[in-house]
Structure 1
Amino acid sequence: MAKRLGERLIEAGLVSAEAVDQALSHQKITQHRLGDCLVELGLIQEGALLRFLATEFKTRFVSAEKLAQAKIAQEVLDKVPVRMAEKQDFLPIAFDAERRVLSIVMAEPQNEALVKEIAIVTDMAEVFAYVGVRSAIQAGIKKHYYGDPTAFASMQSGASLQQDARKLAGAYEGSDSRLMNSSDVSSRTSTGRSGSGKTSSRVNPTQLREALGAVRGTVGENDFVETLNILVSLFEMPRKEFRGHSAQIARQSQLLARRIGLQPRDVTNVSIAAYLHDLGKKPEKHFTLPLIATSPEAKSEAKRYARAPIKLFETVHLPGGVNAILAQLYEAFDGTGVPQGAKGEDISAGARIIAAVDAFFDVTRNPFNPHGRLLTKSEAIDSMRNSTLFDPVVVDALDVLQSGDLLKQRVEQDGRQVFVADPDEAVRTDLMDSLSKSGIVVQSVIKLDGLIDAVMANEADTIAVGLGYGVGDLVALVQFIRARPESASLPVLVLGDPTDPASRERLVQAGVSSFIPVPLAPDDAANTIRAAYLDRIEHGGLGHTVRGNFDELASLELAKILGASRKSGRLVVRNGPQEGYLQLERGRIVYATWTDKKGEQAISPMLTAPQADFAFDPEALLSDMPNADHDFDLVVRELTK
């Protein structure tokens, strides 16, 4: 078994033959399973191994971080004798009393005899087995059965994982950056306290700056953006018309930046700038390009406040690209803006994007906009097209984004996407169009740096890259991708086939998946890329969280997609103080909560909320006892009657 597993891991590009030999030697000493030995020696990340094993065993996986955070009810633990759990390396995590289904995490989910034995011992109709590493399961047993709060901490200090829990969570969620949980954020945002010692319900700009300064530099860019989301949302909570405004602008601007082909690092800068764009300015007035163009008073005030966010956060040391965007938010494409009167391409792309998105949501959501009434989406787009204030390319991309089609695709594809890079813009455009027609979400980048950023952020699920960048640079790129456990099995297809056999062999040895002939036949190339993309999904490629709101994609339309596709994962819905989630397992709702409602009573009010933000995480697992059992598709049909 160990040799077969090692061979399969080598074939998948997850480890080298030398690594397997080293792990086999370690196995002779420890008597642990080969997979555990590879993790213990740091030769493969826990997340990468679990993804592979979950695919092999046709199940899902649970990381050490998830086990450490799980809330396992005592009645679930009581179903299984602790001695049996310790001996057989498994841990019960959930129990559905109505269907008599027990969910467990085990080191060998392929052991059908053991699964049947567990079903007999527990008197269950079915036992569903997730896969986990032995050391994490044993730590889970110590924590949940014996109440040892240090069980997972001891894993960190020993040689069993050689990765701290946050990095393991990053591997599990498809991100190599450290994660920050809500308690971390709470501790950092409680800088403003009253004399009674209670945390203030409002966060003023100074407190926000201090909170951001505390986390800036200690977390990666993705985590910094997530922290901004939480802190700015707290700051905007008292502003009724603009509650959640900056988060919506940030999300839409980020998607728009990707749509028009900005580099991933620039996309992050756009997102950060969007979260900060209103801070330090007059709360009773919302400055947009249409307002500035029609009101001399507003234009004068906007010029005075243009650099307010930059000054407010100068001690936080924001990326230079963010400051450049913030300084030009009120510059108009026709040169009539402030403070410099910059024009056209002299305005940073990020500023052009945020200005368009901010104006769009102002006229469709704020009744006090310059039009004096709320416009429909189509009216807003037409108004922006007829204006000279906005970049026409940005407005066209915004129109596509607001149709909801892209968000639907992202939900359908579980947040997965293909990245296309080629020096030739025509090649990128034709290939993007062909891939989009097949339902795949695709992003284009111009430089190889953009691909590296996408790989580092774990955002790429398949890469198509042009030979025009040069064999040397492509070899370096592919070697970089193959050297990272999180991306070692990522399909990389080269657009073009070297005529020089030696160059071709260099690319093959580096790990290129295949070559696509040129001149490019876009539809044929798209079919080849799509096949590689689907193969990655079939072999355990993780999905990514998809965020949106019910303005972009109506709640029942979203529900139809999730139900018809028989999705698994967690749908989180937030509308101001109202919050809840649905946990889905293969198209069935197994858990529901909405404000103070639980189970069946929570489903309808959540899915019929007129306005709300949502996040769908296709990899989230249930950490509570199931409280519902409904076919999601049937629920949607009932609600749409």
Structure 2
Amino acid sequence: MAKRLGERLVEAGLVTTEAVEKALDHQKITGHKLGDCLVDLGLLQEAALLRFLAAEFQTRFVTADKLAKAKLPSDVLDKLPVRMAEAQNVLPLAYDSDRKLLSIVAAEPQNKSLLDEIALVTGVSEVYAYIGLRSAIAAAIRKHYYGDPTAFATLESGGIQAPRADASAQPNSDTSGSGRGSAPSLQLRIETDPRLRTHRSGTQARLPTQMREALSGSRSGVAESDFIETINILVGLLEQERPHHRGHSAQLARQATIVGRRMGMAPRELASLAMAAYLHDLGKPAERHYTLASNAANADWKSEAKRLARAPTRLFEAVHLPVAVNTILAQLYEAYDGSGTPQGTKGEEISLGARILSTVDSFLDLTKNPSNAHGKALSKAQALDHLRKNAGALYDPVVADIVGQVQSGELLRHRIVQDGRQVLIAESDEATRTDMLESVLRLGLVVHAFSTLEGALDALAQQDCDVLVLSLRFGIADVTALLQYARTSPESSGLPILVLGEPDNSSRDRLLMAGASAVTAPSDTDKAAAMVKQLYEDRILHNGPARVVRGSYDELPLTELLKTLAAGRKSGRLHLRHHSLEGYLHLEHGKVVYASYAGQTGESAMQALLQMKQADFQYDPDSLLLELPHLDKDLDQVVKELGVRRSATA
């Protein structure tokens, strides 16, 4: 006898038995399908459900967000009468007149009789059905057939885009086993940080308020990520008039955060680093770009840099930037050996964020700006040689080394190969943390680590990991509180979490009941790493999402980028942008199937994109192609043709 959907979802680790029971109760009231009820109640993410169903039905899925943003031509909508669309809960997406193939999104793509009926009514030869949620398809019908601009706003208020957490789990108030009484601080963080709060009904214990001031997850109601994106746009507009600095701050923010992540900075620290990168040049003369490299080469520049060092923080005094941002900006021109300005701070007395930002900023200025203090733009090799020669003097040697790794493109290749997925380790003991990092890296996974439990909490809030490793050194009460938070949040309810420690049997049971996927001793890091690899592979098997990977040709040249995608037979969308020029290639299993650029599509668009000498790129492995494919070209062949063309013009 075939298992019901609820049983299959529980077996896949996407929901709990209690969540299914709640959804079944809701189903009795609404009459909706079980999957829709789970999403409506915030017990399961829409994308997770659709990924699971799409894998079962061997098709692809379309989320509410994509249906809301889709541009559907009127002639495509006209293929299917609106009354039939409403009655059968289907929406036409695209029509290929040459093949007489109609693509639709349906709640039951496996319903062959329905597809046959649609083919008969529309006069097409074939119907290809994607899967979507009934409520999302209904909203899309209202928007695209009736022009209702509020269709998806109504849907969002119903829960798909703003899921509520399962209110069933009650935290364990027992703090025995912690040994240090630290649970309240973490639980308070969960309760008070706006990015972590969900619409629970008493799932967290009432907590003290001593951490409230440290937990500003938003400023004046604006989410941190939105604030960063806002200053990105505004600074980008200001840089448009500076030919050698267009997009400089955005590139600085991206590369600095890559280095920061590699050095174990937590997500909130990385956010401060990104803010400082966007703001670092504001209030300073447009004709000069001050860096550690330029200041060291010219005493006059260094003197001016000292006078202007606090210009950005003065401009933003009324904004109440995080303390870490102000510190980074104030120390941007401090040299590692103390020869910098304005205070002559040295070594690790300089904040890590400032050490990272100053190193990356110098590298970018040396390679991009012909008006730098050296009087010419250097090659990448020359700029890296400058960093190596000045490591320990101007630059932190460790930071300089990691900048070199970033510029080699190896980190980007690694992320693309793993579809942006990553393992995060929270471990306070440096020796264990380092051993775990090395053991997991040897297994070919992308892995980052940090020394605080708050870093893990930030990662959960930003949905920034695919396997989380938590050390029991943080205390069983704090680890248990974090596990309970993760399991009562739809975004992380299915996240594999490995606990490193050797608790007694009672504490082990407590951790497993709170939601730990497994508990293992930290003494054998190779064994622990193997468990991480297994959890990682299980998550992919159960349709855990991939992540967007961002970079630039400076870090990974086009030929190397395409070779990496071809070798992995990758699918998804590769978006390319250089200033106002942008377009994308859509990939299916290592083939280019669609290209779009400046209003063009097809072969001409692909060739135009391949001729871009410089570009920032964004690879989204989970992107769905709503248009019908019009190309079928192996990436391997594209790489060969590109190599021949460049050899001919060299």
Q: Please indicate, yes or no, whether the TM-score normalized by the shorter chain is above 0.5.
A: yes
User: Is the 8 Å Cα contact of residues 48 and 486 (structure 1) preserved in structure 2?
Assistant: no
CA contact (8 A) 1:48 1:485 kept: no
Match of 2:146, SS state, is coil
The answer on whether the counterparts of 2:257 and 2:270 sit within 8 Å (CA) in structure 1 is yes
Change (3 A) 1:177 1:414: farther
1:432 aligns with 2:429: no
Please give the alpha-carbon distance, in whole angstroms, between the structure 2 residues aligned to 1:623 and 1:421.
39
Which residue of structure 1 aligns with residue 180 of structure 2? none
Deviation at 1:238, TM superposition (A): 1.2
1:27 Cα deviation after fit: 2.2
Give deviations 1:67-110, integer Å, cap 9, x for gaps.
12211122322333333332322212123445554332221233
Structure 2 residue aligned with 1:503: 507
Deviations 1:248-298 (A, max 9, x none): 111000000000111111011101101111111011011011221232211
1:471 alignment partner AA: I
Q: Tell me the amino acid that sits aligned with residue 39 of structure 1.
A: V
Alignment of 1:83-94 (within 5 A): 83-94=83-94
Conservation of the 8 A alpha-carbon contact between 1:13 and 1:489: yes
Q: Report 1:254-293 matches (<5 A).
A: 254-293=257-296
Say if 2:346 is the partner of 1:343. Answer: yes
1:3-32 Cα offsets, whole Å, 9 max, x none, are 822223334454443443333233233322
1:465 is paired with a residue whose SS is: strand
Q: State the Cα distance separating 1:456 from its structure 2 match.
A: 0.7
Change beyond 3 A, Cα 1:349–1:156: closer
Q: Answer whether contact 2:15 2:494 (CA < 8 A) is retained.
A: no
2:516 is equivalent to residue 519 of structure 1: no
Secondary structure, aligned partner of 1:145: helix
- Go from structure 1 to structure 2 and tell me whether the alpha carbon gap of 1:565 and 1:217 turns closer, same or farther (over 3 Å shift): farther
2:287 partner letter: E
Q: Which moved more, 1:581-590 or 1:530-539?
A: 581-590
Counterpart check, 1:597 vs 2:594: no
Gaps of 5+ in 1: 169-175, 179-214
Letter in 2 for 1:7: E
CA distance in 2, matches of 1:504, 1:332: 48
Match of 2:610 among 593, 598, 607: 607
Comparing 348-357 and 375-384, the one that deviates more? 375-384
1:577 corresponds to which letter in structure 2? Answer: S
Q: 2 CA distance for matches of 1:231 and 1:269? A: 17
Residue in 2 aligned with 1:192?
none
Cα offsets for 1:340-396 (capped at 9, x unmatched): 111111111100000000111111222233333333333322322222011111111
CA distance in 2, matches of 1:565, 1:217: 44
CA RMSD of aligned residues (A): 2.5
User: Measured at CA, do residues 303 and 529 of structure 1 come closer, stay the same or move farther in structure 2, by a change above 3 Å?
Assistant: same
Task: Flag the 1:430–1:616 CA change in 2: closer, same or farther, 3 A.
Answer: same
Counterpart in the other structure of 2:179: none
2:141 aligns with 141
Provide the rounded CA distance (Å) in 2 between the counterparts of 1:123 and 1:625: 18
Q: Give the drift of 1:601.
A: 0.4
Name 1:190's counterpart in structure 2. none
Q: Residues 628 and 76 of structure 1: is their aligned pair in 2 closer, same or farther, counting only changes over 3 Å?
A: farther
Contact 2:288 2:372 in 1 (8 A): no
Aligned to 1:110: 110
Q: Which of the residues 389, 395, 398 maps onto 2:403? A: 398
Q: Following the alignment from structure 2 to structure 1, what is the Cα–Cα distance between the partners of residues 17 and 117?
A: 36
- TM-score relative to the length of structure 1: 0.86
Deviations 1:225-257 (A, max 9, x none): 222222211111111111111111110000000
Contact 2:48 2:543 in 1 (8 A): no
- 1:458 Cα deviation from its structure 2 partner: 0.7
Counterparts of 1:537-576 in structure 2, within 5 Å, are 537-576=540-579
Provide closer, same or farther for how the CA distance between residues 263 and 152 of structure 1 changes in structure 2, counting only shifts above 3 A: closer
Contact 2:435 2:525 in 1 (8 A): no
Aligned to 2:482: 477
Q: 1:395 to 1:273 in 2, by over 3 A?
A: same
Kindly report which structure 2 residues correspond to 1:20-59, keeping only aligned pairs within 5 A, or say none: 20-59=20-59
Deviations 1:379-435 (A, max 9, x none): 322322222011111111111111101001111222111101222222222222232
The answer to whether the 8 Å contact 1:2/1:33 transfers is no
Q: 2-side partners of 1:254 and 1:65: how far apart?
A: 28
For 1:233, what is the secondary structure of its paired residue? Answer: helix
Do the aligned partners of 1:589 and 1:628 also contact (CA within 8 Å) in 2? yes
After superposition, where does 1:310-389 map in structure 2 within 5 Å?
310-387=313-390, 388-389=393-394
**Runs of 5+ unmatched residues, structure 2:** 164-193, 197-217, 645-650
> For the residues of structure 1 that align with 2:517 and 2:253, how far apart are their CA atoms?
35
Answer with 401-410 or 220-229: which moved more: 220-229
- Conserved 8 A contact 1:352-1:390: yes
Q: Residues 239 and 341 (structure 1 numbering): CA distance in 2 closer, same or farther, change over 3 Å?
A: same
TM-score (norm 2): 0.85
**SS of aligned partner of 1:240:** coil
Following the alignment from structure 2 to structure 1, what is the Cα–Cα distance between the partners of residues 150 and 73? 19
Q: Distance in 1 between matches of 2:590 and 2:389?
A: 45
SS at match of 1:638: helix
